[in-house]
Amino acid sequence: MKSVRYERLGETVHQETLPNGLEIRVVPKPEHARKYAFFATRYGGMDTRFQLNGKWLDTPAGIAHYLEHKMFDTKEGNALQELAKNGAEPNAFTSNAMTGYYFDSTDHFDENLEILLSFVSVPWFTDESVAKEQGIIGQEIRMIEDNPDWQIYVRLLRALYSVSTARTSIAGTVESISHITAETLYDCHRAFYTPSNMILTVVGNVDPERVSRLASRVLPREGGPAVPRDYGDEPETVARRETRLAMEVSSPQFLTGWKCLPVPEGEGRLRRLILGDLACDLLFGESSPLYQRLYSQGLINSSFGGDFEQLPGVAYLYAGGESKEPRAVAEALQQEADRLVREGVEEDFFRRTLRASFGSSLRGLNSFENIAVSLTEGRFGGYDPFRFPEVFDSITQEDVLDFLRDNVTADRAVLSEIVPKEA
């Protein structure tokens, strides 16, 4: 295995690509007893349309999440129970762009890793078990649809995007999942759960070579071809300027978002990610003048916050929370972004914000989960996330202001509101 040393971080990453295309990343932590394994496929909620064996397939919304649920079923029983019997804490998640399976353990690591790699690689579905799962996931969907936080977020994405599959709910709808069959699940597994589309990342007290040998023994000898995907040809303009829904809430909630310019895969994505995070901090972070002014006026409370996101082919920045006057807060955010572009940021505040953001990235290395997920996201996005110190070194105030000038503009803004139902 090749070793890459990051002196400024005090970390070493051992990496290898197996003949079947699987990428392995191991970050040894000999001073810890814990071991964390993360096995991920580049397949998420956005991947509903793809090409398999030369034919384009349109699959139901929510199928990646559905497949994640079903993967724990094995011919012998349930992999979750097997892992738990060995003292591991297993789980999984599906995001827009990936599905990840993981466990945390101190003992029986090799055995647990073998279970993880086996059940993710060898699907077992029956028509009966797939039909049964529809009821379980349908109930989950109904629950999240009753959640104002979920509604406000998914409605924000549907206001931002008219074509991109970023507007598709990861869980799908009760109607969309009713079309999922065992055959469809097998097709999706064949397309995306192939070693060449996957990454295994292990963090903790482990021997990198041992991890590599075990993966070589358990996983298929060959990886499948790259699968063309269609995320939709998204226009630059927003789909709609605002969306409003009445629900059982005690006070109005909102998210205002901006449709940002996407960045192709490669090292530029890491730089853009850091610029987006800094733009959030300078514009509406807790130390920013705007946050303090809005808070003192009672227009926002501790629920207020936001983030910058990059997904396949799209990017967006958003902020929000509870407010008695959502529209006033959204307008204030836009005015402040425009002001920063015109007048710049007080230099001392910029330096403090830069240092705080860098410190936050460093603290992220204390979490095994964060290390594994960021290495995986980086590899899928074509960048090395451990290069962040060098990126921070190169960023100037003008770079962040350019980001705001290009992305956080009135014509790119949308407002998503949830308001109390009238009595």
Q: Which residues contact 253 (CB under 8 A, 6 or more apart)?
A: 148, 149, 152, 320, 321, 322, 323, 326, 417, 418
CB 50 within 8 A of CB 57: yes
Active site residue 267: no
Q: What is the DSSP letter of 30?
A: T
DSSP for 170-181?
TT--HHHHTT--
The angle at the Cα of 188, spanning 184 to 189, to the nearest 5 degrees, equals 115
CA-based Rg of the chain, rounded to a whole angstrom? 22
Residues of 66-89 as b/e, b for ≥16 C-beta within 10 angstroms? Answer: bbbebbbbbeeeebbebbeebebe
Selecting among 68, 234, 336, 377, the annotated active-site residue is 68
Phi-psi region of 55 (alpha: psi -120 to 50; beta: other; left: phi over 0): beta
CB 324 within 8 A of CB 252: yes
CA dihedral 7, 98, 189, 49 (to 10 degrees): -130
Residue with tokens 């002196």: 7
Helix pair 397-407, 347-363: axis angle to 10 deg: 90
Q: How far is CA 352 from CA 10, 272, 336, in A?
A: 24, 20, 19
Catalytic annotation, residues: 68
